[in-house]
Amino acid sequence: MTEHLVFLDRSTLQATLRRPSFDHTYTEHATTSIDQTVVRLRDATIALTNKAPLRAEALAQLPALKLIAVAATGYDIVDVAACRERGIAVCNIRNYAVHTVPEHVFAMLLSLRRNLFAYRVDVERGRWQQSEQFCFFDHPIGDLHGSTMGIVGGGALGQGTAALARAFGMRVLFAEITPGAAGRADRTPLDLVLADSDVISLHCPLTPATRGLIGPAQLRQMKRNAILINTSRGGLVDELALATALTEGWIAGAGFDVLTSEPPTQGNPLLDLRLPNFILTPHVAWASKDAMQGLADQLIDNVELFVKGTPRNLVT
């Protein structure tokens, strides 16, 4: 049997994509809008997508579809319940960004903790030349060694971040966010993690249970010298509350690689911040050259294994 593969948003993956070993046809589109989805997948048996959504209304019009291979770890762009009802398998990518995401976390964290951006701006403005001594101390600098990192999400990315934290001499706490599961020995209740940590790093999926996980109350629980890092999903954090927390000094800083809506064409309160204690990058923590190629290879591996009858990384 010939499988018909369609990649809805190939431009989101800057890597070499090998062709599957089985008999197939292949079509790719740079991007796909919601109103183009059904037409482009009309004859597809396998859909590849990174961020092009596949909702129940579209899935109902695609009787030939057997597999949705998501080119990412997060799969909230797919209506999993609708797929389950229609017998459509969904698989995702796992453990491909175990180095690049933690490294991005610490790139932002070190920049914020040592106030690198504030010092760079001062040097560019001539502040060093005006100093009466060999250096100046206009902005506080903090060490990571001896501080506490709270991690929300105990998967591969959370564990990778924890490994780097320990290498810096940090104490690591993993937060428990599942009701009724607080008895696990390797978990600490979220409220205690928020109150005790100098850094909070988010590495959990976006689900109904985690949407808005960090809001005004949680930001108020954090230390005033704490830093919040989010390289996971934008919807985990109340962005308006975060903007307020940064401008009013509830916390010391934040580094974000994600926003609730991407690209943020309708604006976002975090885009308006011009603060030395806030870093915003455009969802690129995952995107090192090596990580993207690993993702591309795993994507085709997932498809080949499904067709072979030995699927892996299934989410439904």
- Amino acid identity of residue 113, one-letter, is R
Q: What is the pLDDT of residues 258-287, one digit of tens each?
A: 999 999 999 999 999 999 999 999 999 999
Q: What is the pLDDT of residues 69-124, one digit of tens each?
A: 999 998 989 999 999 999 999 999 999 999 999 999 999 999 999 999 999 999 99
What kind of architecture, by CATH, is found in domain 100-280? 3-Layer(aba) Sandwich (3.40)
The torsion angle over the Cα atoms of residues 225, 169, 99 and 12, rounded to 10 degrees, is 0
Q: What is the pLDDT of residues 65-74, one digit of tens each?
A: 999 999 999 8
Answer yes or no: 29 catalytic. Answer: no
Q: What is the pLDDT of residues 172-183, one digit of tens each?
A: 999 998 766 556
Q: How far apart are CA 56 and CA 266, in angstroms?
A: 25
Look at residue 179 in the predicted model and tell me its pLDDT.
62
- The active-site residue, picked from 3, 10, 233, 239, is 233
Alpha helices (runs of H) in 215-269, residue ranges in sequence order: 216-221, 239-248
Look at residue 180 in the predicted model and tell me its pLDDT.
60
Going from N- to C-terminal start, the domains of the chain cover 3-95+290-308, 100-280
Number of alpha carbons in the 13 Å side-chain half-sphere of residue 7: 21
The torsion angle over the Cα atoms of residues 59, 64, 66 and 69, rounded to 10 degrees, is -60
Strands 227-230 vs 253-256: parallel, antiparallel or unpaired: parallel
Dihedral sign (CA 236, 96, 256, 260): negative
Q: What is the pLDDT of residues 13-41, one digit of tens each?
A: 999 999 999 999 999 999 999 999 999 99
Answer yes or no: 262 catalytic. Answer: yes
Report whether 146 contacts 170 (CB < 8 A). yes
- The active-site residue, picked from 84, 220, 262, 312, is 262
- The active-site residue, picked from 125, 283, 304, 312, is 283
pLDDT tier for residue 184 given thresholds of 50, 70 and 90: confident
Within this chain, domains 3-95+290-308 and 100-280 share the same CATH topology: yes
What kind of architecture, by CATH, is found in domain 3-95+290-308? 3-Layer(aba) Sandwich (3.40)
Answer yes or no: 85 catalytic. Answer: no
